[in-house]
Amino acid sequence: MLRGRLIITGVSSGIGKALAEASLEAGYEVLGVGRRSCDAIESHARGQFFQADLTDPKALEAIPLLPAASGPTILINNAGTIGPIASTAEVEHEEMAYCMHLNVVAPMRLTARFLQEIEGEKQVYFTGSGAANYPIEGWAAYCASKAAVHQYAEVVAKEHPGVRIHAFRPGKVDTPMQAVIRESSSTAFADKSHFVEAFEQGELVQPQFVAQKLLKVFVSKTEIPVIFSTSNV
Ligand SMILES: NC(=O)c1ccc[n+]([C@@H]2O[C@H](COP(=O)([O-])OP(=O)(O)OC[C@H]3O[C@@H](n4cnc5c(N)ncnc54)[C@H](OP(=O)(O)O)[C@@H]3O)[C@@H](O)[C@H]2O)c1
């Protein structure tokens, strides 16, 4: 039987791809949204892909938000960018604005549409980050964007007590975004060596681990905080 329907942004790699694969395997329907799809969605009868650059307001409005035929409809606002890694005074305005648009404005608009348009049982998740609470030199846009997402989730959860709304902190996950972090210039990024060391010592979490934790949360009846770490559930 159909377990429900997931609408996941950013399914071409990393956490979104692992979640699309795991949820198709677990019996959910998946609508992937992003610039590129993934094999699991393309090859599965319950998989669907809608191409959209989430920084394009017209594309955001065109995403088909349809409810699950049975079970919950679940929105996963996952697509994101690390944004410019540079000293704040040197950051290009366009790069900063792009980061805020993709990481903050797009999930806010998609969530508003989802809450208006989807009837029945629904859940909303945001891929948050420890960077929301931990200042990292050179990452001003990213840290600010994830702090905004956490606080947005807190407010929306308060406004909609009947809807499960959460932002999850996945830890350091072995995805292309971590590769971008390791390959960035260390001039403005004092903590870079910690990220390189964590990778070299095998400390990164695999995206499949995050996906399995989320699948547990979707069906769990246990109360958890609005902002939670996937390693704690
Ligand atoms: N990896 C970590 O350690 C970590 C830690 C905390 C939080 N996160 C968060 O986890 C989320 C997923 O990141 P990831 O680590 O899995 O990295 P990733 O593999 O780089 O995934 C990013 C996803 O976002 C999509 N995307 C990027 N720009 C887009 C755009 N303009 N329009 C639509 N989709 C776009 C990418 O797909 P296309 O390029 O095909 O569009 C890709 O599927 C992000 O929100 C990130 O901030 C990651």
Tell me how far the alpha carbon of residue 1 lies from the centroid of ligand 1, in angstroms: 30
142: annotated active-site residue: yes
Which strands form 227-229's sheet, in the order they lie side by side?
A: 47-51, 29-34, 5-9, 73-77, 122-127, 164-169, 227-229
Domain assignment present for 197:
no
- CB of 203 sitting under 6 A from ligand 1: no
The per-residue DSSP string of 38-101 comes to -HHHHH-TTEEEEE--TT-HHHHHHS-----SSS-EEEEE--------S-GGG--HHHHHHHHI
List pLDDT tens digits, range 73-120.
Answer: 999 999 999 999 999 999 999 999 999 999 999 999 999 999 999 999
Domain presence at residue 83: yes
Within-domain flag for 88: yes
Q: Is the pLDDT of residue 62 over 80?
A: yes
- Please report whether residue 229 resides in a domain: no
Q: State the pLDDT at residue 188.
A: 86
Contact 44, 24 (CB under 8 A): yes
Asked whether residue 12 is assigned to any structural domain, the reply reads yes
Give me the CATH number covering residue 73.
Answer: 3.40.50.720
pLDDT, position 206 = 98
Quick check: is 210 in a domain? yes
> What is d(CA 35, CA 49) in angstroms, rounded to the nearest whole number?
10
CA of 17 to the centre of ligand 1 (A): 10
Mean pLDDT value across residues 188-193? 91
150 lines ligand 1 (CB under 6 A): no
- Nearest ligand 1 atom to alpha carbon 18: 16
**Backbone CA torsion sign across 172, 27, 121, 80:** positive
In-domain check, residue 177: no
Residue 188 lies in a domain: no
10-19: pLDDT as tens digits: 999 999 999 9
Number of domains in the chain: 1
Residue 214 tokens, joined: 């989320």
Q: Which domain holds residue 159?
A: 5-171+206-222
The fraction of the chain above a pLDDT of 90, given in percent, is 97
